[in-house]
Structure formats: C-alpha cells, structure tokens
Amino acid sequence: MAELVLTLNAGSSSVKCAVYETTDGAPVQIARRAFEGAGGAVIGLALDWAESQRPDGRLIAAGHRVVHGGMQFTEPLRATAEVLDALEALAPLAPLHQPGSLAGLRRLAALRPDLPQIACFDTAFHRTQLELATWLGLPRDLHDRGVRRYGFHGLNYEHVADRLTQIDRRLARGRVIVAHLGAGASLCALKAGKSIDTTMGFSPLDGLMMATRPGTLDPGAVLYLLQHEDLSPAEVEDLLYRRSGLLGVSGVSGDMRTLLASDRAEARDAVALFVYRAAREAAALIGVLEGVDGIVFTGGIGEHSPQVRAMIARRLAWTGLTLDPALNARPGEDRISAPDSTVAVWMIPADEERIVARHTLAVLNR
C-alpha cells in the first residue's frame, strides 16, 4: 500500500496543497493544487482531494508550512497542542499567514486526531545567520525577549540551496544572492548553502517592497501615521500589510503582471521602485558576502517575469553580471546568464512543498 504525505501551505486567501508518495524513503510529488479560502475552511476539501489521488494509498502524515517559529522553534517538529499554543503567540508577527496555518493545523487535528502533523518553519533556515544580522538597534533586553531579526521564506531558500548542489555544485559552494520575488519578496545571502543574512527581519513587512507591503520603512513614518494622521494601530496594520507596496504606489494593482501591462505612469513608477529596491538590497548583501558568485531568481515574479529579471540585472551590471536575452525569455529552470558573465544567474522555481514533505518524513522517522 502506498504511503502518502499531504503538504499544506496556507496563505492569506488560499491553501496550496501537494501530495507525495514515499519512494525508497524519499517524497515524490504526485499531485498539486490550490484551494481558495482560509486555512481552516478548506482543510476538509484538501483532505478529500489528497486521499482521492491514491485511493489504494494510506495518508501517514501532513506537513505544514508555518511562517514564524520565533526563537523557540528552529527545526521541524510534531505540532502538539502545546506547540500550537506557543505558535499562537507569534501570530501578531505574521498576521497574513500565521493565523491561517494555525487554523489549518487545528482543523485537521479535529478531523483526524490520529494523523501526525509536522510544522516546518520559514524562520528556521535563517538560524545560521551572522549574529550581528539578528540585531535591531533597540535595548538589549528587547533582543533577549525576541525583538530581533528572524528572516522568512526559509523553506524555499532551503529548496534553492539544495537544487544548486544538484545543478551547479561549484556555485553551491560559493557566495549566492537568492531573490525570492513574489507577492511576498525577500533576498537571502547564502555562503556554501547557509543563510548569512536576509532582507526580511522581525516580521514579513521588512526589506523589499512587495505586492501590498512597503518593505523597509522609517519607523518615524509609523509614528507620524499614529500621531498626526489619526490612524489607529489596527488601521496602520491594515495599511502596511494590505494597502501599500506595488498596490499603494501604483494605485492600480499589487500584481506585477497587471502593472507591466499597464501604460499608466503610476504603474511604471511602482515597477521601477520594486526593481530599484531589489537591486539596492542585493548590493548590500553582496557587501555582506564580500563579493558574489551567483544570483538565483525564484518565486512568482522571479520565475515568470523575464522583464523584471532583466531590469534588476541591468542595475547589477557593475558586478559583471550579464543575462542572455534568449535564455532569460525561456520558461523553466535554467541558467540564464550570458557566457561572458562573471556572475552565474539561474532561475529556479519555488518549491516549499518538497522541503516540507522531506522534513515531514524525517520527523516521522526520528
């Protein structure tokens, strides 16, 4: 009888699911889809769909992407009631994603109390960051209580690092900037496959401008909004998580595809700012690495927008980076740098689900 693992990645408005069959102890994906709706509301549908993929199979576990693990959770583990209660306290640090993940975990526990559930954390990959990279310029006691830089998108960064060992071993041992560009966006500096620094910090608001989030923001601007624009904390949260970024700057959309197709000046401004911020932050991480051997584009925009990749590459031409236009225009995983480029450039599609499935099996076998 086939043994199956269900992976669940709850976003703010949908749940991405995948089913893996274990083959020689390793996960092999057999199906993938997304369900529109919040985490807890669609779990029953996802469960029925997963089990229909192999009617003669047996579901042995469910693995969940959980955005924030805080200081306490630095590796995947079984999602016990005590773990869920601890993760609940971190929900204010990732309000777009953490509540949905927790709702999914609790709903599945109610439907299948005997099914092992494994929580896999986006923050865990960044536990290898430089110690200085975790600090904010705040009083030390706040740092000790968890007000520090964590980093996110770690499951996909782990996937990219793993793929590099298979497709470009020399680069995998070097200094790499990974650009996870999508509705949520961040960069990570890898040295020999380990996270050294990343643009997201205490929360997923930090770093690059995103679809509806502003990225790095002068804290004085937040104080101004509270004190002089008469916004409540809840209104500021809504502004920063849902009404800023590409959507806020353009006034058109938070979807890069819509903005690239638009002839409005505001849309062009939003795209230009996105590219500028990405190149500026990449340059900062190159400084942390003291050089760069390669850049990897991943995520929805990083995978599907040759135009954005080309614009960012032009701003980083000073590094010796040159794209091959024909390779950059082709879909699918590929090396897209020109033969004379001194910086290798790859496009690697995101695949957090594969890493979640792998971790889930590893925890089961401990």
Catalytic residues: 122
Q: How far apart are CA 246 and CA 256, in angstroms?
A: 8
- For 251, left (φ over 0), alpha (ψ -120 to 50), or beta? left
Q: How many residues does the chain have?
A: 366
For the chain, the helix, strand and coil percentages under 3-state DSSP, each to the nearest 5: 45, 20, 35
130 contact partners, CB below 8 Å, separation of at least 6: 196, 197, 288
User: Residue written as tokens 């954390």?
Assistant: 121
DSSP codes, 87-107: HHTTGGGSTTTHHHHHHHHHH
Strands of the 294-298 sheet, one edge to the other: 194-198, 186-191, 175-180, 294-298, 344-347, 334-335
